[in-house]
């Protein structure tokens, strides 16, 4: 592993930890969902760097694609319910 | 106060465990015996350019059948639990607020492209990274995008379950055909291996991965559709 990939890997790991903290702490739900998706997306980039493109595709498709969509879908349903809280 | 103390203590303990693992870690300089076998013999044995796919579909095909079964069970249980809350009359559902112009137009443009990408990913599973599970998830995300645009859109449960069961059934049939015609269960050499690197090569691997892709896509889609058809809690 060269120095460049090591530094990039460390940066990606730090960024994903930062995105995870944002996902937990932020008040707005859409921003939290996007931050959670960002964690998966950064993990997918990290997997590509570590020469595991198959795992990266799974992570990108399910972690950051399907799950983010699903959270937004459920969020829309919950808000669409409207008059009960 | 005491709670914070315990949380910090727990985090420090976890950190110490991981630090211990990291300090003692030295990357392997060369492949171990199993990996060496796969790296040396995959191209000759299976004709697949992507070793990962060859391992998932052929060498460890039985495990993949197990994974597909687990996913099927999950989809079945989700459908069972959510069927209780399904609305009898689809026309009586309250129309949600209309989706924005951006989402409607964007999904009209993107959904066919996403479907195409999903099919590409699982059809080329033996050549490029990706395969049935990834492609299936991509197919399902196109379905989810359509549901997001129009939650009242009707998807045929019958069609989804027919695709799901047929592909699962043919998958097992191909596995059994491997026992009869080739070296064992799920052996891919029941079909000619073809030219290395061509789309129609590597024996039964593209067929099996297409079936897995359809099955996984149908399972995810059925979960999402059941989820969207449940009644609003009152």
Of A70, A1, A82, A3, the closest CA to residue A36 belongs to: A70
Both tokens of B224, joined, read 């999402």
> In chain B, whose CA is at the least distance from the CA of A78?
B232
Domain, as residue range, for B150: 49-87+100-229
Split into its structural domains, chain B has a count of 1
Q: Is B214 exposed, middle or buried (0-12, 13-18, 19+ CB in 10 A)?
A: buried
Residue B92 lies in a domain: no
Among partner residues B50, B134, B234, which is closest to A61 by beta-carbon distance?
A: B134
Encode pLDDT of B12-47 as tens digits.
Answer: 999 999 898 888 877 777 778 888 888 887 777 777
Residue B140 lies in a domain: yes
Query: What is the distance of C-alpha B34 from the center of its chain?
Result: 25
Encode pLDDT of B189-198 as tens digits.
Answer: 777 777 776 6
Q: Is residue B26 a contact partner of residue A1, using CB atoms and an 8 Å limit?
A: no
Chain B contact set for A77 (CB, 8 A): 151, 228, 232
In this prediction, residue A15 carries a pLDDT of 92
Residue B28 lies in a domain: no
Residue B9 has pLDDT above 90, yes or no: yes
Encode pLDDT of A48-68 as tens digits.
Answer: 888 888 888 888 888 888 888
Q: Which residues pair with B230 in a beta bridge?
A: B86
Name every residue in A having a CB less than 8 A away from some CB of B: 1, 53-54, 56-58, 61-62, 65-66, 69-70, 72-74, 76-77, 80-81, 84
Sign of CA dihedral A55, A57, A60, A61: negative
Residue B176 lies in a domain: yes
Q: Test A54 with B52 for CB contact under 8 angstroms.
A: yes
Of A73, A53, A69, A66, the closest CA to residue B139 belongs to: A66
CA distance B43 to B46: 6
Residue B10 lies in a domain: no
Both tokens of A10, joined, read 């460390």
Percent of chain B scoring above 70 in pLDDT? 92
In this prediction, residue B216 carries a pLDDT of 87
Name every residue in B having a CB less than 8 A away from some CB of A: 27, 50, 52-53, 96-97, 121, 129-131, 133-134, 137-138, 140-141, 144-145, 147-148, 151, 220, 224, 227-228, 232-234
Q: Which of B88-92, B137-141, B174-178, B184-188 has the highest mean pLDDT?
A: B137-141
Of B81, B217, B234, B227, the closest CA to residue B160 belongs to: B217
SS3 A5: helix
Q: Test B138 with A69 for CB contact under 8 angstroms.
A: no
In this prediction, residue B103 carries a pLDDT of 83
| Cβ-count burial B163-196 (b if 16+ within 10 Å, e if not) | bbeebbebbeebbebbeeebeeebbbbbbebeee
Q: Which residue has the tokens 């039985």?
A: B62
Q: Test B151 with A65 for CB contact under 8 angstroms.
A: no
Q: Test B147 with A73 for CB contact under 8 angstroms.
A: yes
Residue A18, φ and ψ in degrees, nearest 5: -60, -45
Among partner residues A61, A72, A80, which is closest to B138 by beta-carbon distance?
A: A61
State pTM to two decimals: 0.77
Residue B44 lies in a domain: no
Mutate to test the interface with A, among B134, B148, B213, B232 (most CBs of A within 10 A): B134
Chain A contact set for B138 (CB, 8 A): 61, 65
Q: Test A54 with B232 for CB contact under 8 angstroms.
A: no
Encode pLDDT of B100-136 as tens digits.
Answer: 888 888 888 888 998 898 888 888 877 888 788 888 8
């Amino acid at each position: 592993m060269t120095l460049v990939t090591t530094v990039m890997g460390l940066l990606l790991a730090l960024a994903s930890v930062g995105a995870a903290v944002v996902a937990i702490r932020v008040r707005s739900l859409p921003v939290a969902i996007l931050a959670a998706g960002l964690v998966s997306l950064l993990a997918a980039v990290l997997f590509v760097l570590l020469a595991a493109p198959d795992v990266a595709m799974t992570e990108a498709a399910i972690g950051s694609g399907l799950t983010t969509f699903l959270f937004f879908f459920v969020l829309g349903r919950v808000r669409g319910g409207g008059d009960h809280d | 106060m005491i709670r914070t103390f315990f949380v910090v203590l727990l985090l420090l303990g976890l950190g110490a465990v991981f630090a211990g693992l990291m300090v003692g870690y030295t990357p392997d300089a060369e492949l171990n015996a199993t990996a060496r076998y796969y790296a040396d013999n995959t191209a000759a044995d299976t004709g697949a350019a992507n070793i990962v796919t060859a391992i998932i579909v052929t060498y460890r095909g039985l495990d993949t059948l197990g994974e597909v079964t687990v996913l099927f069970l999950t989809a079945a249980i989700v459908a069972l639990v959510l069927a209780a809350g399904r609305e009898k009359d689809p026309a009586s559902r309250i129309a949600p607020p209309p989706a924005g112009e951006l989402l409607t137009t964007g999904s009209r443009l993107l959904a066919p492209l996403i479907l195409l990408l999903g099919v590409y990913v699982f059809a080329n599973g033996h050549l490029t990274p990706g395969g049935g599970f990834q492609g299936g998830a991509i197919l399902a995300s196109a379905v989810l995008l359509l549901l997001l645009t129009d939650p009242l859109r009707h998807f045929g449960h019958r069609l989804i379950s027919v695709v799901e069961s047929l592909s699962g059934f043919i998958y097992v049939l191909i596995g059994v055909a491997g026992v009869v015609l080739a070296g064992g269960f799920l052996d891919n050499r029941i079909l000619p291996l073809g030219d290395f690197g061509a789309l129609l090569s590597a024996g039964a691997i593209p067929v099996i991965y297409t079936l897995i892709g359809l099955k996984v896509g149908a399972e995810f889609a059925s979960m999402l559709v059941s989820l969207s058809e449940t009644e609003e809690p009152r």
